[in-house]
Amino acid sequence: MDARVQLVYFVIVATIVAIMSSIIPIDLSAFATNPSYLTQYLPTNVSTPTVINLFAYNDEFVNVLGANATARQLYNLDTQLFHEAGIYNKQTNKLYVTSNWAFDLANPINITIIDLDPAANYSYTTTRYSALAEPNGGTSYFPPGSSNSSTPPRHLYADEGDFINPSALVSVDPVTGHSEKILTNYLGRNFSSINDVRQHEGTGDIWFTDADYGYYQYFRPAPTIPKQVYRFTPSTGQISVVADGFVQSNGIEFSPDFKTLYISDTGAAGGPFLGVNLTRPSTIYAYDVINSKHLANRRVFAYSDNGFPDGIHTDTQGNVWAGCGDGIHVWDKEGTLLGKIWNGVETNNFAFLPGKLLIFSNAQLWIVEGLKAVGREVCKDFGVC
């Protein structure tokens, strides 16, 4: 191209890069006495959101994202294909996401499979696995006797169940599509709707949360058990309740050293049945993990100022990331809010990929590229650290 066209091209590219990559510092001293402080940075029309901002509530945020991080929207659909789970698999080079409940028992929750091959341009397909009814959260799963060095991981879904199928933990082989239930009850009692799940690296135990959202969204019978958090040992079938006292136990995630467990209470969100009640929790609690088996020292880790902290993931530095009402909020391990990846819409979950983050806002899918932070699970499961 000639020099003038090249210059115009350069200016356009530089402008786009600047718009996408600039991390906006939030002046907390100004914010402290001006509740409308943030509006100066928000798009005036968020009815069809396409704007994504990186807000630094703390100088450390740029070190977490990396100075080159950029964010953009990949999809804005009229169906809600991107909701929860988000299980990265290095072998298939795909990401597995659950769609949102469509309020139609005849049209159950699908798995959206996003192709991560650069040539595929994030194209996706949808599928269902036979043993799954209404899957929500999920994680990589190493069955008893396997580890990341011997076998590629399977997937483990938190299946909320429906009026026929009880809520369950379901293992899926992402290569063959074979699926099987590994837990369907608590010693003969039904779960309400299992919401999210993680595997402890040292013991192989499965830790998971149970909530009422299947009932609140009219696809499960009335709950018959409290909102609790469980530990299940797949090799022996042993199951224990490890925490209770939640309005709605929801997101669950370990610190990278497995010494801390984070559990969110999304009690503020009551679904269409109860509606939103902002006086109830939108809170992440932290616990000490004792002897890899028990929980102690429950404390408030963080309270989300917008929406409710749904899916939680940690990075290898121990920062805690959660999908909230206006995007992703990131806290350091002390619970200090470092920043937000702000898109203005309810964001239920997200997934770390090597150097990237995919963000699930139901009808919308967003991406952060050039990301410095490394997901705990990507590192543990695939050695991509």
Ligand X SMILES: *[C@@H]1O[C@H](CO)[C@@H](O)[C@H](O)[C@H]1NC(C)=O
Contacts of ligand X in 272-311 (CB under 6 A): 277, 279-280
The whole-angstrom separation of Cα 38 and Cα 40 is: 5
Query: Any contact of residue 314 with ligand X (CB under 6 A)?
Result: no
Q: Residue 181: which residues within 8 A CB-CB, separation 6 or more?
A: 131, 159, 168, 169, 170, 171
Contacts of ligand X in 200-259 (CB under 6 A): 224
Cα 256 to chain centroid, rounded: 16
Backbone angles phi, psi at 247, to 5 degrees: -75, -50
- In whole angstroms, the minimum distance from the beta carbon of 153 to ligand X comes to 9
- In whole angstroms, the minimum distance from the beta carbon of 179 to ligand X comes to 16
- In whole angstroms, the minimum distance from the beta carbon of 198 to ligand X comes to 15
Please identify which residue in 79, 130, 235, 292 interacts with ligand X, judged by CB under 6 A.
79
Please identify which residue in 190, 260, 282, 361 interacts with ligand X, judged by CB under 6 A.
190
Contacts of ligand X in 34-63 (CB under 6 A): 45, 47-48
- Ramachandran sector of residue 160 (left: φ over 0; alpha: ψ -120 to 50; beta: rest): alpha
* Number of residues forming the site for ligand X (CB under 6 A): 26
Query: Any contact of residue 148 with ligand X (CB under 6 A)?
Result: yes
- In whole angstroms, the minimum distance from the beta carbon of 245 to ligand X comes to 14
Q: Is the CB of 237 or the CB of 383 nearer to ligand X?
A: 383
The whole-angstrom separation of Cα 311 and Cα 12 is: 36
Query: Any contact of residue 99 with ligand X (CB under 6 A)?
Result: yes
Neighbouring CB atoms inside 10 A of 336's CB total 13
* Buried b / exposed e along 32-65 (16+ C-beta atoms within 10 A): eeeeeebeeeeeeeeeebebbbbbbbbebbbebb
* Greatest C-alpha distance within the chain: 75
Please identify which residue in 68, 130, 238, 292 interacts with ligand X, judged by CB under 6 A.
68
Binding footprint of ligand X on the chain (CB under 6 A): 45, 47-48, 66, 68, 79, 81, 99, 102, 107, 109-110, 121, 126, 148-149, 166, 189-190, 224, 277, 279-280, 380, 382-383
